[in-house]
Structure 1
Amino acid sequence: MAEDTDKDSKTEEATEKKIRDAMEKGNLPFSREAPIFASFLAFVTFALFFAYDTILHLASFLATFLERPNEWRLETELDAISLYQVVFFEIARAILIVMFLLVAAAIAASVFQNIPRFVGDRIMPKLSRISPLEGWKRIFGVKGFVEFAKSLGKVLFATVFLVFVMSDVHARLLAGMVTNPVSFGLVIRDIAVELITTVALAMALIAGADLLWSRFHWLQELRMTKQEVKDELKQAEGDPILKSRMRSLARDRARQRMMSAVPRATLIIANPTHYSIALRYVRDETAAPIVVAKGQDLIALKIREIAEENNIPIFEDVTLARSMFKQVSVDNMIPPQFYHAVAELIRIIQNGPKGPKPGNLSS
C-alpha cells in the first residue's frame, strides 16, 4: 500500500539531472526482445547467403567419412586424435559463420538501444540479488507478471504467424520427396528460410512494441514527486560552481549579442581606450537614442574596432563617455540629461561634410 501511494505521488516528469544520474548508474531502458529479433535476423542472413554452400560442403565430407571408413586409420591413439581434429574442424567451419553472425547481431542490438559504458555499480555484489525473498518478488510481482504476459503473447503471436504462412508445407514436402536429393535439399532450405523469416518478422513487430514499452516504463519509473523536483532545484541553485558557470554563460551570451548589435549603431562615444558606448538613433524608430552596446577596456577596444570596420563615426569625449558609461544600460534609451550632448553629435553626422567633422568634442 505504501509503495502504491509513493507511485501515485510521483506526478512530475523526470528532470534532466535525474535521467543523467540514472544513466550514469547503468539504469537504462533495455528491450530483451531486440536481441532475440537480431538473432533471428542473423539466422535469416545465414540461410539466404551461406547455408546452401556450407551444408553441401559438410554433406560431402560426411559422405566420404561414412561411406569409406577404411580410408581413415584408427590403429593408434594419435590416429583417433587426428580423426577427431578433422571432424571437429569441419563441423566448426560449418557453424563458425552462424556463431559470428549471432555475436555481431547481439552486439548490434545492444549498441542500437544504448551506447556501451562501464558501470562498476552494476557488477558489485549485492545481497538482494541472491535473496530468495527478493527473487520471489521479482518472479511473482508486477514486473514478473508483465514479463510472463509478454512471453505468452510472443509465443501466441509467433504461432499464429507460423500457422498462417506454413499451411502448405506438408504438400511441398511430399512433392519434394519424389524429386532428386539435390532438389529436395533446396525445398527443405526454402521451407527453413520461410520459417525463420516468418518468426523474424513476428519478432520484429514484438521487438518494436517492446522497445516503446521499455522506454515508456523506464520514464515512468523515473518520475518524481513535486517535493523531489523542488529539492533538486534548490540544490542546483545552491551549487556555487553551477551558479558561477550560469553567470559566466549569461555574460558570454550578452556580450555576443551586444557585439552583434554594434554594426547597427549610429555613433560611438569613447574615452579613447577605457570606455566605449554605441548608440543608435533613427527618427521614426525611437523617441531617443538607444544604447546598443557599451564596454570597458578590451571590450571598449573591440567596439571601436567593429565600428571602424563598418564606418561608424567615433567621437572621443572623456567626460561624456565616463558619465554616460555609469548611467546608461544596454537596450535602453539614454537619460534626458544626455539629450543635448548626443543631439549635437547626431547633428554633426547628419550635416556631413558641410559641418564639423567628428573628433575630440566635449559636452
Structure 2
Amino acid sequence: MSESADKDSKTEEATEKKIRDTIEKGKLPVSKETSIFASLTAVMVFAIFFAQDDIARLGVFLSIFLERPEEWPLATEQDAIGLYRVVFMEIAKLLGTLMVLLVVAGFAASAFQNVPQFVAERIRPQASRISLAKGWNRLFGLQGFVEFLKSLAKLGFVIAVLVFTLRGDYRELLSGMITQPQAFLLTVRGILIQILVSIVLVMAAIAAADLVWSRFNWRRDLRMTKQEVKDELKQSEGDPIVKSRLRSLGRDRARRRMMSAVPRATLVIANPTHYSIALKYVREEDAAPVVLAKGQDLVALKIREIAEQHGIPIFEDVALARSMYKQVSVDSVIPAKFYQAVAELVRIVYSNKARKVVS
C-alpha cells in the first residue's frame, strides 16, 4: 500500500540531473525483444545467404558417413577421438558463421538502444538482486505481467507459424527424408527460411512496441515527487542558509583584508562618520589614486580609527565621500571624474609632508 502511494505521489517528470545520474549508474531502458529480433534476423540472414554452401558440404559428409561407415574404423580410442574431431570440425564450419552473426547482432542491438559504456556499478554485488521481496515484485508486478503477456503472444505466434508452415510442407519434409542427405538438408533450409521470415516480420513489430514501452516504463519509474524536485533544485543551487553563511564569511574576509590595507593609505575621505574611502597614491608607482578600502557606518568609523592610529590624513567632504562611495571599487583606480578633486587633496598631503621635512 505504501509503495503504491509512493508511486502515486511521483507526479513530476525526472530532471536532467536525475536522468544523467541514472545513466551513469548503468540503469538504462533495455528492450529484450529487440535483442531477440536481432538474433532471429542474424539466423535468417545466415539461412538465406550463407547456409546453402555449408549445408551442401555437410550433406556430402553425412552421405559418406552414412553410406560408407567402414571408412570410419572405431577399433581403438584414437579412432573414436579422430571421428569426434572430424564431426566437430564439420559442425563448427557450419555454425562458425552463424556464431559470428549472432555476436554482431547482439552488439548491434545493444548499441542501437543505448550508447555502450562500462559501468562498475552494474557488477557490484547488491543485496536487492537477491531480495525475495523485490524478486516477487518483478515477477508479479506490472513489468512482470507485461513480460508474461509478451511471452504468451510470442509462444502462440510461433505455434501458429509452425502449424501453418508444416501443414503445407510436411509431405515435402517426409519425402525428403528418403532422399540424399544434401537434398533433405536443403529442403529443411527452405522450410526454415519460410518460418524465420514470418517470425522476424512479427518480431519487428513486437520489438518496436517493446522498445517504446521500455522507454516509457523507464521514464515512469524515474518520476519524482514535488519535494524531491525541490530538494534537488536546492542541492544544485546550494542551500540558501549555507549560501548566506558563505557570503557572510566572504564579506568578513574582504573586510579584514581592507582593514589590513588601510595603514598603507595616503589619505582618507570621510563624510564624516557615515562613509570613509581610503586612497593610496605614490607618484612613482600609481598612474592614478587606488581605492584600498571603503566602508559605511561602523566600517567607516573603523577605517578612520585605523587611519588616526597611523597618522594618515583624513579629509571630511560630505558630497565627495558620498559620491565616491557609490562609484568606486576596492583595489581599483578612481574614475576620471574624481581626478581633480582627489588631486587637490593629494597636493595638500604632499605639501604638509614637505613642510614637516623642512621644519
TM-score normalized by the length of structure 2: 0.61
User: Which of 1 and 2 has greater Rg?
Assistant: 2
> Could you say what secondary structure the match of 1:147 adopts?
helix
Q: What amino acid is aligned across from residue 26 of structure 1 in structure 2?
A: G
Structure 1 counterpart of 2:210:
210
User: Equivalences for 1:1-363 in 2 at 5 Å?
Assistant: 1-160=1-160, 168-170=168-170, 173=173, 186-238=186-238
Task: Report the CA distance shift for 1:186/1:55 in structure 2 as closer, same or farther (over 3 A).
Answer: closer
194-203 vs 1-10, which moves further: 1-10
- Contact 1:54/1:94, CA 8 A, preserved across alignment: yes
Q: What amino acid is aligned across from residue 196 of structure 1 in structure 2?
A: L
Task: Report the CA distance shift for 1:73/1:231 in structure 2 as closer, same or farther (over 3 A).
Answer: same
Q: Matches of 2:93 and 2:184 in 1, distance apart? A: 24
Deviation, 1:193, is 0.5
> Could you say what secondary structure the match of 1:50 adopts?
helix
Q: Matches of 1:110 and 1:82 in 2, distance apart? A: 40
Which blocks of at least 5 consecutive residues in structure 2 are unaligned?
Answer: 244-334, 338-359
Task: Report the CA distance shift for 1:183/1:68 in structure 2 as closer, same or farther (over 3 A).
Answer: closer
Task: Report the CA distance shift for 1:211/1:322 in structure 2 as closer, same or farther (over 3 A).
Answer: farther
Deviation, 1:178, is 10
Structure 2 counterpart of 1:356:
none
Deviation, 1:174, is 7.4
Deviation, 1:154, is 2.6
Q: How many percent of aligned residue pairs carry the same amino acid?
A: 58
Deviation, 1:137, is 2.9
Q: Matches of 1:85 and 1:179 in 2, distance apart? A: 27
Q: Matches of 1:168 and 1:86 in 2, distance apart? A: 36
Which blocks of at least 5 consecutive residues in structure 1 are unaligned?
Answer: 244-320, 324-363
Q: Matches of 2:236 and 2:183 in 1, distance apart? A: 72
1:306-340: CA deviation from partner (whole Å, max 9, x where unpaired): xxxxxxxxxxxxxxx956xxxxxxxxxxxxxxxxx
1:277-328: CA deviation from partner (whole Å, max 9, x where unpaired): xxxxxxxxxxxxxxxxxxxxxxxxxxxxxxxxxxxxxxxxxxxx956xxxxx
Q: What amino acid is aligned across from residue 12 of structure 1 in structure 2?
A: E
Q: Matches of 1:179 and 1:79 in 2, distance apart? A: 29
Deviation, 1:46, is 0.8
> Could you say what secondary structure the match of 2:31 adopts?
coil
Deviation, 1:171, is 6.3
CA RMSD of aligned residues (A): 3.3
Q: Matches of 2:184 and 2:80 in 1, distance apart? A: 35
The count of aligned residue pairs is 248
- Contact 2:12/2:224, CA 8 A, preserved across alignment: yes
Task: Report the CA distance shift for 1:182/1:214 in structure 2 as closer, same or farther (over 3 A).
Answer: same
Deviation, 1:133, is 3.6
Q: What amino acid is aligned across from residue 19 of structure 2 in structure 1?
A: I
1:34-60: CA deviation from partner (whole Å, max 9, x where unpaired): 111111101110110111111110111
Task: Report the CA distance shift for 1:154/1:77 in structure 2 as closer, same or farther (over 3 A).
Answer: closer
- Contact 1:158/1:202, CA 8 A, preserved across alignment: no
Q: What amino acid is aligned across from residue 39 of structure 1 in structure 2?
A: S
Deviation, 1:194, is 0.9
> Could you say what secondary structure the match of 2:117 adopts?
coil
TM-score normalized by the length of structure 1: 0.60
Task: Report the CA distance shift for 1:185/1:92 in structure 2 as closer, same or farther (over 3 A).
Answer: closer
